[in-house]
Structure 1
Amino acid sequence: MSSPSTFNVRVMTIDDYEAVIELMKQTPGVSFRDADSRESTLRYLLRNPDLSFIARVGDTLCGCIMSGHDGRRGYLQHLVVLPESRRLGVASSLVEHCLAGLEGLGIRKSHVDVLKTNALGARYWQRQGWTLRTDIDRYSFTQVGDENA
């Protein structure tokens, strides 16, 4: 591995899927669901080209983030950074890449969902100046039989 403070960011491709999913599965506070399947991830990447990124230190994946939009608002998800690569600017760089890509498409407001049990994630986003919404509740609907979607 190269110097721990040296990392490179590039657009995520489906070829990164296995490494990204393994990083997600090993990270407390990050959920992995059927919606994170290879097929769903490919569909997401194709629908939102050049908006998801990975970071590497040498040959080691040290971080990832996915983002997309609905035409009006951006949505960031699955920001994950290896513990030994935290506090080096990896997360901030990944987020900046997403926000710049979204802004280039005219998307100037973005959201991120953080599990209520993910205190570390909540602290990160608050420190970055993101505002916790208390004026809305999010409701989800899942088709019968897809409870892990």
Structure 2
Amino acid sequence: MDQDLDTAFCPAGTGIIFRDFGDEMVVANLDTGIFFSLGGSAPAIWAALAEGHSARGIATAFGGDPGILASIGGLLGQLRAEALLTPAASPAPAPAAGVAPWAFVTPLLERFDDLQGLLLVDPIHEVSEAGWPLAPQTLGGAG
């Protein structure tokens, strides 16, 4: 886990989408149909991780307190366990110490799977290369 603190990460594929709503970040995994609400300092941490900054670099930007690094490391572990982040191909950019314009608040991650069934049966994803509203042809079908 300690090596993860210095690793650059990126969203784990094109099925991971996210949107910042100011005090909340919503991250959805379109492959699993599960979405997440990030609160506290988690939206800023997610944005920095998605840009390729390391957990240690982000903690440095928040002031470098060991407790902050532990909180960010814990959030990183949760995000990796949910398959939302994967190690990036390129190394993390150097941290920009002291540029975090926000006070650190314990990061929160809430998991929601109540819409999973709806997200996974999205008919728009079940189309041919011709696009929607044309459904893919079945084997042996006329067409």
TM-score (norm 1): 0.26
Larger Rg: 2
TM-score, length basis structure 2: 0.27
Greater RCO structure (CA 8 Å; 6+ sep): 2
